[in-house]
Structures are given as C-alpha cells and as structure tokens.
Structure 1
Amino acid sequence: MNVAEPPKNYEELIRLVHDRFEGMSKSYQAISVYLTQNPNDVAVLSVSAIAERCGIHASSFVRFAQSLGYEGFKELQGLFQKRLSTAAPGFEARMRALEAELGTREDRSELGFLRDLVVRDIASLQDLLADVSAEKIVEAVDLLQKSETVYLIGQLRSAPVVDLLRYVLTMLGKRCVLLDPSGGLATYMARTITQRDLLFAVSFRFYATEVVNVVEQVAAAKVPIIAISDSTLSPLAKSASVLFAVPEHEYTFSRSLAAPMCLAQALTVALASRLQQSPNSPRIPTVTSPQGRQQPAS
C-alpha cells in the first residue's frame, strides 16, 4: 500500500485516503475516519492523544503514515497543521469557547447534564453552518423538487430524522414513502423506485446493514440519492448523488441528532419556499384539530 510520492497537501491526502479506503485494514479505516472527521484536532493533538481517542495504538498511526509514503506521523500531521492556519475553528475549540462563555460546570446535577448537551449541540450546529456548502443545498433541493416520489430510509437512531422528513414532506403535499424495516420489506419496496424518484437515506455509525444494502441497490438502478451520514468515508458516500457529511463527536452517553435534524429541516424549508413560491415566509400548511378548528402545524 506504499506510494512512491506522498501527498503534498491536505486535499491530495484526503483524495488518496478515499481512493484506498476500501482496501485498508479495519484499523487503518478507523484511523482514516478519525482523520477526515477531526482535521483540526489532528493538527494540535499528540499522536498518543489521537490514538487514545481512537482506541488504537500510536504505532498504528505511524505505520499508517508510512503506508502513504511519509517517514512518520509527524510529517503527515504537518499537512493538517498547515490547513489549520486558514480553517474555521473545529468542534473542540467551539465547545471550549462556549464553556468559557456559559461557565464551566462543576457539579454533576441533572441540570448539569442538560448544560453539557446544549454546549455540545451548539458547537455541532456551528460546525454544520461552517461546513455545508450552498451548492450542495441547492442541488439537494433541486432533486427533492423534481422527484415524483421521495423514498425515505433510516434505521436505529437515524429513524427520527426520516420521520421528521416524512412528516414535513407529507404536509407540503410531496409524495413520499417510508421504507419501514417492519416486516422485512424495505429491500423489496426499494425495488419499485424508478429514476424519476429520489431516495433520501440517513445512516451513522454503526451503519444499519439494510440501509447500506438498499442504497447500493438503488444506486445500481441509477436512481438519484441524497444521503446524510457522518463521514465522506461512510458506505453511503460512494452511492450518493449529494452527500451531507455531518461529523459525530464523542458523547459520554449518546451522540446527538441536533445537527442532522436541523439539516433535514433546512432542506424541507427550502423546498417549501419553492413549492409555495414564498422565499420569505414558507410555512407548513395548517391541520384540522378534532374540533374542526384550523391550527398551525407544529
């Protein structure tokens, strides 16, 4: 897996990692995912600290760098340090700034847990705003608008994101179908998707096998796919027409859905503005209460 000439900049390095990812060992794949998801941390942390966060021995990082043509990890790390000089602050830096602003939590009370989660969610939302390009949002909304039917798939903790999408798309009058895992029929339902339709897939580590299989099956039929995942090295990445990589950061208890839920809602708001020809104030149509009164949809 050695290369004659190592990449000379961060962009070349990431391209090489993507090209070689499928042929890597499991440990090298885990290293690749961490490097691509946390470039700012890679620039400032020691190899021992990075290795501890990944749960992989530091010597594996050295061998990984050598497999890409570098003398050692320090040389590879230099590309990340050069990138950092012009990059926006990363998740950890944003979180530390928010903690300084809101005050460091000293207790382990129930309210303290809420504060921790809010700080992390704000940082992840700031990262989302900094990382998602306007071009990708436009491309995704174009696909949503022109599709005859939007098929949705997301399982395990990704399920709330597609449930939100199904609700809003239905209220906007956009035909959509949830590929529900119940009954084991999702794969068979996916066979009815045509090139006039769209698959919207959401999946994070550890990727649900059925979701990955459906995405690959639908991509083979040349159906357009929008995907929200956690990495450009996700198994959804190679099949997606538009990929939104929303990196996940380690949480003591669980990983938050704040950023992917916000992204999903932003896409539907943008779609609503087109369907309603109302760029300034798109709204979800009203629903009827049991008493027959019209109420705004919540």
Structure 2
Amino acid sequence: MATATHLAELQQQIRHRYHDLSKRLQQVAHYVMDNPNSIAFDTVAVIATHASVPPSTLIRFANAFEFSGFNEMKQLFRKNLVEETSSYTERAKLLQHRKGEHQSLDTPTDVLMQFSQANAVALQEMPSTISSELLNNAVTLLENAETIYVVGMRRSFSIAAYFAYALRHLERRVVLVDGFGGMANEQMALVSERDVVVSASFPAYSEETVLLCERAAASNAKQVVFTDSQVSPLAANSDVCFVVKEAEVESFRSQAASMCLAQTLAVSLAFRLSKSG
C-alpha cells in the first residue's frame, strides 16, 4: 500500500481497511475521520486525550498507513484545509461567537432561533464538504438505474419518503423500502446489479438499514449512502458515500442538510433527464 498523498486518498484507505484494524486503531480511525480540524491543528497529546488513547496508539495508526509518524500524516489535513474554501473559517467564527452567548431554550421562539442558526451554519458548510464528483456520480447512478430502492428507517424515514416521492415525479421506477408489516426483505427481494439502493442512517444506526445494505451488496447493486462518517456501517459497501454533518441543538439533530442533499440529487436528475430528451 502506497502512502497517501491527499486527504481523500487517506480517507478511502481508512474506510477500506477499517474492519481489519484493531479495536484501538478503529477508535483512532473514528476520531481521525470525524475531526479533521483537530488533527490539523491540535498537538498529538491533545488528540490522544480527545480520542481516549495513548499517544503511542496514534503513532501506530500512522505507521499502519505507511507514514513515518503521526505528524507526517497531520500534514495531509493541514494541506487540505489550506485548499478548502473559507466556509470553515466563517463557521468557526460563528460558533466561537455563540459560545459566549447565553443560549436559552425557554420558549418556542428560542428553540426556533437556535435551530435556524445551527441549520444555517450546516447548510453553508455543506458545499465545501461534498465534492462535485460525488454529486455527479450519484446522479449518473440514478439516471442509469433500472429500479431505485430507497431505504431509511426510524428517524431517517422522512428523508427516504421525500426522496422516493421526488423520484416518482421523474417517472423513475422506485421502491420505498419502509418495512411495513415486517416486509422489508420481501420489498428488496428483486434487487440486482442493474439497480441502485439509496440508504440513509445516522447514529444510532438502524440495524434494519445496515442489513438491507448488506443484502444489496450481495446482489451487486450500486449504493448511494447518506450517513455521518466515512466509517459508518453503511459506508463500507457504498459506491457514493455522502457524509452529512447535520446541525444539532442540545442533542436534538436536525435533518435540514440531508433534505437539502436529497432535493439537490432529485432536481439535478431532473435537469439531466431533460437535457437527454
């Protein structure tokens, strides 16, 4: 395995090797994938504390991916931040400003204000974290699919229901796998390599969704995933993995960013189909 020269390449290597790593190294992988700013700027000692591992484990993690040390791996994260847009900087300023404020949630207006501000930040950040390549690849898969299966259980069901609704208005053959009557497996019975499975799941991940994605992989179906991390259980078998960072207020997670992404894919597909006649 060659040493990664770009952050995206390293993230891909971590995703593919995640299940072969020891539990300690998996713990580091989670932190590394989910906290790129910390990896770029914090010291090894601080990162080790936040990841709840000894500093030596960080060095072993870097060595496992052919780096001479953890600081060498850190350079990929710093380089990536330099190349990114300023949206992260603007977000950091906003969050720092809000840390000094008293965030009251005593009234519905307070709750609305906090969710509105948090969602605004999440939506502003999303274009800088989701590449045009991922978007184009997902739209191409949807365009060429014989049947599109949409899976989203529990709190992700609203995302799946909207996406299935939008695709049906584009005259796509769509199956919303809702598991009604315990029939999820039957709803996926005919999935094949000609199809695309679009799934959404966030912590705590839906066991039903994970199992259905594994079934799709066994049938060689293409998969487009909405999730929260490159090492989520849905990511391993995905062809396109969208890591969506949702806004959160007092542990209540929003769905605004995921809905925005679903609408983006549906409308992009509509324009693609109109151009192709």
TM range (shorter): 0.7 to 0.9
Comparing both structures, which one devotes a greater share of its residues to helix?
2
Match of 1:20 in 2: 17
> Is 1:178 paired with 2:200?
no
Identity across matched positions, percent: 32
How do residues 93-172 of structure 1 correspond to structure 2 at under 5 angstroms? 93-99=89-95, 105-109=101-105, 110=107, 111-172=109-170
**Structure 2 unaligned blocks of 5 or more:** none
Residues 107, 213 of structure 1: alpha-carbon distance in 2 compared, 3 angstrom cutoff: closer
- Whose RCO is larger (CA < 8 A, sep 6+)? 2
Question: What is the distance in 2 between the residues matched to 1:50 and 1:249?
Answer: 23
Q: Given that residues 201 and 226 in structure 2 are in contact (C-alpha distance below 8 angstroms), is that contact kept between their aligned partners in structure 1?
A: yes
Count residues with an aligned counterpart.
274
Query: Is 1:260 matched up with 2:258?
Result: yes
Return closer, same or farther for 1:250/1:103 CA change in 2, 3 Å cut-off. Answer: closer
Pick aligned residue for 1:87 from 77, 84, 90: 84
C-alpha distance in 2 between matches for 1:33 and 1:158? 22
Higher radius of gyration, 1 or 2: 1
Cα deviation, 1:237-273, whole Å, max 9, x if unaligned, reads 2322222222457753123222111100111111223
Q: Does 2:210 align with 1:216?
A: no
Q: Which residue of 1 aligns with 2:270?
A: 272
2:91 partner letter: M
Residues 1:134 and 1:80: Cα distance change in structure 2 (over 3 Å): closer
Structure 1 residue 98 displacement after superposition: 3.2
Secondary structure of the structure 2 residue equivalent to 1:195 = coil
- CA separation of 1:246/1:144 partners in 2, compared to 1, >3 Å: closer, same or farther? same
C-alpha separation in 1, matches of 2:275 and 2:73? 49
**Structure 2 residue aligned with 1:43:** 40
CA contact 1:40–1:90 (8 Å) conserved in 2: no
Cα distance in 2 between the residues matched to 1:12 and 1:121: 29
Rounded to whole Å, the distance in 2 between the matches of 1:27 and 1:218 is 30
How far the C-alpha of 1:99 sits from its partner, in A, is: 5.0
Please provide the CA RMSD for this pair: 3.3
Preserved CA contact (<8 Å) 2:28 2:53? no
What is the SS of the residue equivalent to 1:233?
Answer: coil
Q: What TM-score, normalized to structure 1?
A: 0.76
Mapped to 2, the partners of 1:13 and 1:274 lie a distance apart of 32
Name the aligned partner's letter for residue 43 of structure 1: A
- Structure 1: gaps spanning 5 or more residues: 280-298
- Give the counterpart letter for 1:44 in structure 2: F
Change (3 A) 1:252 1:142: same
